[in-house]
Amino acid sequence: MALIDGTAKDLQMWSKYAYAMRERILFVPEYGSGNTHHAIVLTCSYAEEGDSWTGECVELGTATFADTFEEMRLELHEAVELQLVEIAHLLSPQDYFEYLVEHEVAIVPWDAPGAAGLTNTTEGMVERIGA
Q: Give the model confidence (pLDDT) of 31-57 as tens digits.
A: 555 556 788 899 999 998 889 999 999
Q: What is the pTM of this model?
A: 0.71
In a domain? residue 127: no
What is the rounded CA–CA span in Å between residue 18 and residue 97?
35
Q: C-alpha angle with apex 98: 96 to 103, nearest 5 degrees?
A: 100
- Kindly tell me if the per-residue pLDDT of 6 is higher than 50: no
Residue 75 counted as domain residue: yes
125 pLDDT higher than 50: no
pLDDT of residue 90 exceeding 50, the answer is yes
DSSP 17: H
Residue 83 reports pLDDT greater than 90: yes
Rounded CA gap, 59 and 52, in Å? 22
Q: How far is CA 35 from CA 71, 94, 128, in A?
A: 31, 18, 35
Tell me whether residue 103 is in a domain: yes
Structural domain that includes position 18 = 2-112
Residue 31 in domain: yes
Total tally of structural domains belonging to the chain:
1
Would 27 be classed as within a structural domain? yes
83 occurs within a structural domain: yes
Whether 126 is in a domain gets the answer: no
